[in-house]
Structure 1
Amino acid sequence: DAIVVLENISTHLERGEKPTEAAVHGTSEVGISVIASTLTMLCVFLPLTMVSGMAGIMFKQLGWIVSIIMIISTTAALTLVPMLCSRMLSNKPKNGKLHRAIFDNVEKFLNKISDGYAKIIGWCMNHRKTVIFSGLAIFVAVLVLLGPGVKSEYFPHSDEGRLTVSIELPVGTEQTVTGEFAKNFAARIKSEIPEIQVLQYRFGQASTDNVWGSMQSNGSYIISMNINLGSMEDRERSSSEIADIIRKDLREYPEVKKGTVSEGMGGVGGAASITLEIYGYDFDETDRVAKEIQGKMLDNENFTQVVLSRDDYTPEYQVDFDRTKLALNGLNSTTAAAAFSAAMNGSVGSYYREEGDEYNIRVIYDKKFRSSTQDIENIIVYTPAGKAVRIKDLGTVVEAKVPPTIERKNRERYITVTGIVATGHALSEAVAATNAIIKTTEIPNNITTDISGDFEDQQSMFLNLVVLMVLIIILVYMVMASQFESFMSPFVIMFSVPFAFTGVILGLWATNTALGVMAMIGIIILLGIVVKNGIVLIDYTILMRERGMSVIDASVTAARSRLRPILMTTLTTVLGMVPMAVGRGEGSELWRSLGMTVCWGLTISTLVTLVLIPTIYCSLATAQERRKAKKLAQTKG
């Protein structure tokens, strides 16, 4: 805004006006366009402060900060800048030899660009249909040819230098064996990965007093590792490459039933994942389908790790009581089961107190009397009459395997297949691969599937952001219509928006970047930025028409006069975003797509709309004047 005001004041000074007069006239000429452009920016960023969900949590502060800065910046541009110009600038500046040697050539170069641009606009005024249809053809071609090839993601993957490894050995593995395996595996990856700065691991069953440990997955067969790789700037290999090395090592151990390697700290920026939910009541059928899909996903290049949510089945002894035999002995299934449980798991018979501490005295069968089916069959249950009856006289003891947990969602049993997206592949590619795998898998009619995980979160976020974009476009149009007191001028300016999308698609395709949430935020920012150039251009064109110029002359004059401030504002924005778009430091991955989106979208939109906006305005304004002239002639007739 300050650039537009300052450039217009400088133009009046070059015409010989006094500094005070130049400041007043120059500011008044562009004041409406500056206010309108600021209001359009507020229409973009203020709605971000009202968004709910994850988008609201992430971008609410951005919306408030930019809105406040824009209000202060516009106030300064319309008050402080004109005052400083009236005091510090002169209509007859005294320039030294060095200044002339440098800036005279720059001025000549800029004048040549302005003259050439004016000639282009003059040609466009006489070939309006050709220009408009060419612009439409460019938009459609990019949308149709390149649009379908753009990949999508949730959040960009960032290297946080943290890995979490979870290893599950066969159920029932003794704790000493688990500890030995953890020690050997930790030593192996330390020797293979010198980037490891800190490696911590834990294993075993949490005690009843360890509340935090009990809340996590634990057991005598489970190992958990936390690995710190340090800053990405201090190592050559990324955390994804190191994670793949650990995954490869885990696959070499046949005793590892499940091994997962997670990147990051569990927030945004970790490795993308696909979760396939398989719904069905029958355990055998859902297990078969899940394992078949798991195998196909592991063979697919889009996935580097695929795990099932259902753990190995736990072996257990079950007693199938005969109700007739129970009734003959004066027992029921509840009392018999309680007696059997007390023998196997023990029961608290009394307490031992010492120095204020109390300890449970648990009475349980000795291990050697409860280690086989025969031992369990010989467990004694006492009837109400005091008669001793063995379990084998009351029912049948069988060995069975059951899932450790039964997962349910919406009151339906289900199992999940979770695949980590491989480095170099996007979430959309993994989703397409998963759908293709589902089509080639024989799935019974009583089993249904659904893709969730990051894909579900992405779809929800994208839907919210698309709705926000539509509301922003409507608000921007309404604001411009109220400022220009016309529906036609804002309609012309809104043609800048489609070519912002054209630039974004070109940028995503050229840089092989996936469209994610951060890129969507960049598009939302573009909705406010790209219309600013059109506002400045159309507002000055209207001013020239009010001063008596024809539509064509006003369009050419405004285009030539406003070229310099439009290029200056575009360059300052693009150059300010370039460091973000090409950043390579720690955490830069998260913001790179936002910077790239703004740079490409604003550049392409500016280049196209500098030609297209004046041409469309000239066409519509000329048609409007013809209709007015025709109505006037009919009225006089």
Structure 2
Amino acid sequence: GYRRWLERALDYSWMAVVAVVALSLLAVWLTQRLPTEYAPAEDRGAFFILLRAPEGASLEYMDRYARQMEGILLDEVGDSESVRRFLTRLPGSWGGAEVNSARSIVLLENWDIRDESDREIGSRLRGRLDELPGVRSFVSHGSSFGMRQDSRPVEMVIGGPDYEQLQQWRDELLAALRNVPELVNGDSNYQERKPQINIAVDRDRAAVLGVPLLSIGRTLETMLGSRQVTTYIDRGREYNVILMGRETDRSSTDDLTNLYVRSERTGDLIPLANLVRISETAGPSRLNRHDRMRSITIEAGLADGVSLGAGIEAMLQAANETLPAAARISWDGESKEYLESGGSLYLTFGFALLIVFLVLAAQFESFVNPLIILVTVPLAMTGALLGLLFYGSSINVFSQIGAILLIGLSAKNGVLIVEFANQLRDRGMAFREATIDAAVVRFRPILMTSAATTFGALPLLLGTGAGWESRQPIGIVIVFGVAVSAVLTLFIVPALYHLFARNTSSPQRVSRIIEQLQRGTAAEKSPAE
């Protein structure tokens, strides 16, 4: 059976080189075809809902919509529903003075009880929340490593000299993103939606009328804001005395006509409206910086079926075509983690491959034998990528970790064949026969160890419950990689050994020559004595 097929394979050893090249090219093609992301979407059993109203919305306005959101969530709570309970926070911001948001933390039933995933439930709730007029709804889910995934995972940070220039670049890039099919719902964190009143003092007129700028500033501070003027002590406690206008006297810009300041020259009261110019504008609620530079973050969601890697490439291409060279481009959030983790894991994979090669080179005292053994790595990678394609999975942190494990799991099969072939050659067996016998003798150990590894990883592949989305890529890579590598190793490694290792020597050759010389020297000394 196997010996007969192996003998035929050795007659066409050069075909093993063609097979290795073809499988390596297939692996490269699969790498480009498979979607890439930082970490797979994971059902954490909870998600967040954020309602955001226009800037300047009052607490009463937000409370009304928060109660409507709670009514929608109450419809999902029950014995036959998927939501166990929820908690609403108003305002939804974690600090700051903004009151135009509300946040709910939704806790789901156990994975064994509900039939829907957290994303299916969140999508259904988002559809109902989008029907609320006057607010925008956002649903964010947890992912692996404790990161929060929202509806816009592609985050590009644009840095520049000033916010006026950044605002212009933002508008140009958002206009370009509308024509990018991979991205949807483009937006930025620089929103000119907060109402502002700019008051400019007519300095010349104030000087003519004898009104100092300090009086104008103190009047505006006291009537439109508040000002601490003194303190008083009551029963051993000190209290601040704060002056401020009544809310009814500062509800609109027309109330400024009722404010007066006293002239130091004449002592008369002069209407404040005669000394200032009022303009109503809209500005951002806060000014952001990234790496100590003024910045605006452009966010976008992914279209259906588009991976995070493809979305990042699409946004980067649009930015390169739209923004000038003076714009500094960086990444934030999940996009940043994806780019940094991808590069570091590929570097780790390369170092692991190099270390294995150096260890094998030291063991075999040859560079040819380790290269033959490490041919099993691209074979295993091809099987792993085929498994990811079959399951519709992606290349992420967990699948890359599994790929690093495959280096050792696949290389051990080649070590079994090459090491035993060298031992048979040391015993004086012919090169071809040593190659065939080594593969035949090691046939059962290779299959048994590979089967044990494969069955040991099946729980990762087939398991369900909490966190299965992150465990499954590792199981796919190990099961498919080890299975494909074991089958191909039984033919390709002996064929390559037969083709390239003919002129190599055994690692024990030098030690045996030294032993022979020592025995010969000892034999010559004995007769002489």
> Could you tell me how far apart the structure 1 residues matched to 2:397 and 2:266 are?
72
> Could you tell me how far apart the structure 2 residues matched to 1:266 and 1:600 are?
23
Change (3 A) 1:395 1:445: farther
> Could you tell me how far apart the structure 2 residues matched to 1:378 and 1:446 are?
49
Q: Where does 1:139-538 land on structure 2 (aligned, <5 Å)?
A: 139-140=24-25, 142-143=26-27, 145-191=29-75, 194-204=81-91, 215-216=94-95, 219-256=98-135, 258-264=136-142, 267-268=145-146, 270-271=148-149, 273-279=153-159, 281-282=163-164, 285-286=168-169, 288-289=171-172, 292=175, 307-328=187-208, 336-351=216-231, 353-354=233-234, 357-382=237-262, 387=267, 388-421=269-302, 425-435=306-316, 450-538=330-418
In structure 1, stretches of 5+ residues that fail to align are: 1-115, 206-212, 626-637
Does the 8 Å CA contact 1:302/1:429 hold for their aligned counterparts? Answer: no
User: Amino acid of the residue matched to residue 121 of structure 1?
Assistant: L
Does the 8 Å CA contact 1:151/1:429 hold for their aligned counterparts? Answer: yes
> Could you tell me how far apart the structure 2 residues matched to 1:371 and 1:253 are?
27
User: Amino acid of the residue matched to residue 288 of structure 2?
Assistant: E
- 1:159 deviates by 0.3
Q: Are 1:554 and 2:434 an aligned pair? A: yes
> Could you tell me how far apart the structure 2 residues matched to 1:335 and 1:611 are?
94
- 1:336 deviates by 3.8
Does the 8 Å CA contact 1:545/1:551 hold for their aligned counterparts? Answer: yes
> Could you tell me how far apart the structure 2 residues matched to 1:376 and 1:534 are?
87
| Structure 1 match to 2:20 | 135
Does the 8 Å CA contact 1:290/1:308 hold for their aligned counterparts? Answer: no
| Structure 2 match to 1:589 | 469
- 1:460 deviates by 0.9
> Could you tell me how far apart the structure 2 residues matched to 1:294 and 1:198 are?
38
> Could you tell me how far apart the structure 1 residues matched to 2:212 and 2:499 are?
93
> Could you tell me how far apart the structure 2 residues matched to 1:497 and 1:263 are?
36
User: Amino acid of the residue matched to residue 364 of structure 2?
Assistant: F
Does the 8 Å CA contact 1:146/1:505 hold for their aligned counterparts? Answer: yes
User: Amino acid of the residue matched to residue 186 of structure 1?
Assistant: E
Q: Are 1:611 and 2:487 an aligned pair? A: no
Cα deviation 1:589-615 (Å, max 9, x = unaligned):
111101111111112222212211111
Change (3 A) 1:446 1:247: farther
Change (3 A) 1:436 1:189: farther
Q: Are 1:578 and 2:458 an aligned pair? A: yes
Q: What SS class does the counterpart of residue 197 from structure 1 fall into? A: strand
Does the 8 Å CA contact 1:286/1:415 hold for their aligned counterparts? Answer: no
Does the 8 Å CA contact 1:407/1:414 hold for their aligned counterparts? Answer: yes
Change (3 A) 1:331 1:529: farther
Does the 8 Å CA contact 1:278/1:290 hold for their aligned counterparts? Answer: no
Does the 8 Å CA contact 2:345/2:400 hold for their aligned counterparts? Answer: yes
User: Amino acid of the residue matched to residue 288 of structure 1?
Assistant: D
In structure 2, stretches of 5+ residues that fail to align are: 506-529
Pick the structure with more helix per residue.
1
Q: What SS class does the counterpart of residue 83 from structure 2 fall into? A: coil
| Structure 1 match to 2:527 | none
Cα deviation 1:296-337 (Å, max 9, x = unaligned):
67xx5765x655323452222221123333444667656643
Change (3 A) 1:175 1:333: same
User: Amino acid of the residue matched to residue 41 of structure 2?
Assistant: H
Q: What SS class does the counterpart of residue 486 from structure 1 fall into? A: coil
Does the 8 Å CA contact 1:158/1:269 hold for their aligned counterparts? Answer: no
> Could you tell me how far apart the structure 1 residues matched to 2:146 and 2:57 are?
35
Q: Where does 1:83-122 land on structure 2 (aligned, <5 Å)?
A: 116-122=1-7
Cα deviation 1:22-48 (Å, max 9, x = unaligned):
xxxxxxxxxxxxxxxxxxxxxxxxxxx
Deviates further, 382-391 or 150-159 = 382-391
The TM-score, its normalising length taken from structure 1, stands at: 0.71
> Could you tell me how far apart the structure 1 residues matched to 2:155 and 2:389 are?
27
Change (3 A) 1:611 1:390: same
Change (3 A) 1:302 1:128: same
User: Amino acid of the residue matched to residue 427 of structure 1?
Assistant: L
> Could you tell me how far apart the structure 2 residues matched to 1:145 and 1:423 are?
22
> Could you tell me how far apart the structure 2 residues matched to 1:422 and 1:196 are?
27
Q: What SS class does the counterpart of residue 286 from structure 2 fall into? A: coil
Does the 8 Å CA contact 1:139/1:502 hold for their aligned counterparts? Answer: yes
- 1:271 deviates by 3.3
